[in-house]
């Protein structure tokens, strides 16, 4: 078996991408994700790859656009304010049906915000990663091992569905170290007959484009893309359920926050409260079915986030009024403590019939 090593989240993301065959990285320094770029700068030149420090976040995502158009695996990495700058490019990647990997190691916002962990880009990632109708795949790991595993899935599914994929992490996951094992599996890149890599006189020219001046053509293209999204929602939504079977109170949390919630749920159980957790692993597609199912057995739900309430809207949509959905969040870079969350669970339990 491969060796278990202690690795920082940011570095693990980078190493995982390299093991996925990603040899093109375009980035720009920003805390708290800079280790991703630094790791790539060190490793990629040694394996025939390209690390490029772009002049801006905008250029970095557009370099990814160029590399993805060429048919190679490419990625960029940033943190919240940088992702805002990239949204233009992300929209073009969506509109041109290009696969790539984008990492967002979230920090507090809005504006320059802070540099401590946050989950306040949930809306941006899942609802409006760029202008126009469109989505990207968004994976929300909660451990360093899962960060690694999801990078493999992100590249694979991005190519399967020809769309960008994002790893939505946060400063805590990016900066912390945990043991990790890199999967020893053969990576198969998908065929890319659509790539603009020179027709060599063997085919008609390929065009990578998101411009459709005729409204009916643009509508048709968008509808086709949304039909694909429906398949993705059906097949790719992922969730972890923790002690949900007999749970009366179900907490929904993703990413780093789910770790805090897990501790709180454990503590609640020790105090005789039947608590459980549903943890979305994909936040787009949002695992609405699993959340709705939880609402059938639980009497109350609680959504915990490092934001002032973003994913809770998706939870409420999924629950559709069947049970009350409470919210607890910290923001600005503050990580909620297990004790705080436990307090919330107890409060809700007190109100439960």
Partner 1 sequence: MADYNMVMAGFGGQGILFSGKVTAYAGLMEEKNVSWLPSYGPEMRGGTANCSVCVSDEPICSPLVVTPNVLIAMNEPSYDKFIDAVVPGGTVIIDSTLIAKKCERSDVNVFYVPATELASEKGLDGLANIILVGKLLKETSFSAYESVLKAIDKCVSARKEHLKAKNIEAINLGMSL
Partner 2 sequence: MAVVYEKPHALTDAVLHYCPGCTHGIIHKLVAEAIDELGCEGKTVGVAPVGCAVMAYDYFRCDMLEAAHGRAPAVATGLKRSLPDRVIFTYQGDGDLAAIGTAETVHAATRGENITIIFVNNCIYGMTGGQMAPTTLPGQVTQTTPYGRDVKLAGYPIRVCEMLSTLDGTYYAERVSVDCVPNIRKAKAAIKKAFQNQIDGKGFSIVEVLSSCPTNWGLTPVEALQWLRDNMIPYYPLGVYKDKDKEADNNG
Tokens 């454990």 label which residue? 266
Task: Give the whole-angstrom CA distance, residue 229 versus residue 131.
Answer: 17
- The CB-of-26 to partner 2 minimum distance in angstroms stands at 7
Question: Helix/strand/coil (H, E, C) string of 141-179?
Answer: CCCHHHHHHHHHHHHHHHHHHCCEEEEEEEHHHHHCEEE
What's the order of all strands across the beta sheet hosting 137-139? 50-53, 24-27, 74-78, 100-106, 164-170, 137-139, 282-284
- The CB-of-130 to partner 2 minimum distance in angstroms stands at 10
- The CB-of-86 to partner 1 minimum distance in angstroms stands at 22
Tokens 């805590």 label which residue? 172
Residue 263 partner contact from partner 2, partner 1, none using kind-dependent CB cut-offs of 5 to 8 Å = partner 1
For partner 2, give the closer residue by CB, 64 or 302.
64
Q: Which residues contact 270 (CB under 8 A, 6 or more apart)?
A: none
Stretch that binds partner 2, among 107-115, 156-164, 203-211, 318-326 (CB under 8 A): 203-211
One of 19, 266, 289, 346 touching partner 1 (CB under 8 A): 266
| CA neighbor of 261 nearest in space, from 301, 201, 202 | 301
Binding-site string for partner 2 from residue 47 to residue 76, where x marks contact by CB under 8 A and - marks none: ---x-x-xxx-xxx-xxxxxxxxxxx-x--
Binding-site string for partner 2 from residue 9 to residue 38, where x marks contact by CB under 8 A and - marks none: ---------------x-x------------
For partner 2, give the closer residue by CB, 71 or 117.
71
- State which of positions 156-175 bind partner 1 (CB under 8 A): 171-172, 175
Q: Is the dihedral of CA 215, 221, 223, 226 positive or negative?
A: negative
One of 3, 185, 191, 200 touching partner 2 (CB under 8 A): 200
- The CB-of-76 to partner 2 minimum distance in angstroms stands at 10
Contact 39, 14 (CB under 8 A): yes
Interacting residue ranges for partner 2, rule: CB under 8 A = 24, 26, 50, 52, 54-56, 58-60, 62-72, 74, 88-89, 92, 96, 196-202, 205-211
């Amino acid at each position: 078996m491969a060796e278990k090593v202690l690795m920082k989240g940011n570095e693990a993301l980078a190493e995982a991408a390299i093991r996925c065959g990603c040899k093109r990285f375009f980035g720009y320094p920003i805390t708290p994700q800079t280790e991703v770029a630094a790791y790539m700068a060190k490793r990629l030149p040694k394996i025939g790859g390209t690390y490029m420090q772009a002049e801006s976040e905008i250029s970095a995502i557009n370099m990814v656009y160029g590399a993805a158009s060429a048919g190679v695996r490419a990625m960029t990495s940033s943190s919240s304010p940088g992702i805002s700058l990239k949204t233009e490019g992300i929209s073009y990647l969506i509109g041109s049906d290009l696969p790539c990997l984008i990492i967002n190691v979230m920090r507090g916002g809005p504006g320059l915000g802070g540099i401590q962990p946050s989950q306040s880009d949930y809306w941006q990632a899942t609802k409006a990663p760029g202008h126009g109708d469109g989505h990207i795949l968004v994976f929300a790991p909660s451990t360093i091992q899962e960060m690694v595993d999801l990078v493999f899935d992100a590249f694979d599914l991005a190519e399967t569905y020809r769309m960008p994929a994002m790893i939505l992490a946060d400063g805590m996951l990016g900066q912390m170290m945990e043991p990790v094992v890199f999967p020893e599996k053969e990576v198969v890149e998908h065929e890319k007959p659509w790539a603009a890599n020179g027709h060599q006189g063997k085919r008609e020219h390929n065009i990578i484009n998101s411009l459709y001046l005729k409204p009916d053509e643009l509508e048709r293209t968008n509808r086709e893309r949304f039909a694909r999204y429906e398949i993705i929602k059906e097949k790719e939504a992922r969730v972890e359920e923790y002690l949900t079977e007999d749970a009366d109170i179900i907490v929904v949390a993703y990413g780093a926050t789910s770790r805090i919630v897990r501790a709180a749920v454990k503590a609640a159980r020790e105090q005789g409260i039947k608590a459980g957790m549903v943890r979305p692993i994909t936040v787009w597609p949002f695992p609405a079915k699993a959340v709705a199912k939880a609402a059938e057995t639980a009497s109350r739900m609680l959504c915990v986030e490092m934001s002032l309430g973003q994913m809770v809207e998706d939870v409420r949509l999924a629950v559709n009024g069947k049970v009350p959905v409470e919210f607890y969040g910290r923001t600005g870079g503050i990580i909620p403590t297990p004790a705080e969350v436990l307090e919330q669970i107890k409060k809700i339990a007190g109100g439960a019939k």
